[in-house]
Amino acid sequence: MKVIYTTNTVESYHRIVRKFTKSKAIFPTDDSIRKVIYMSVMHISKKWTMPVRNWGLAYSQLFIFFEDSFVS
């Protein structure tokens, strides 16, 4: 069993993404759901005013795990 810890920030983010995806009952393609999620992230990120704490460390860890996904 894995335990996942969360914060109010994460919960808020998920709530807003659900708000965007809940308004549409059916997504005709995988790309359509990706677009809705991408647009919700763009909307959410406009409201962020504080810098992400320890972003450099998080970025380097993400790069190690998902190296193929990063564009150089």
List, for residues 4-13, the tens digit of each pLDDT value: 666 787 788 8
Tell whether 63 is covered by a domain.
yes
Q: What is the pTM of this model?
A: 0.50
Residue 50 has pLDDT above 60, yes or no: yes
- Residues of the domain holding 48: 8-69
The first and second tokens of residue 17, run together, are 């993404």
Alpha helices in the chain (DSSP H): 8-22, 30-46, 55-65
**1 in a domain, yes or no?**
no
d(CA 43, CA 13): 11
Number of domains, the chain: 1
Backbone angles phi, psi at 31, to 5 degrees: -65, -30
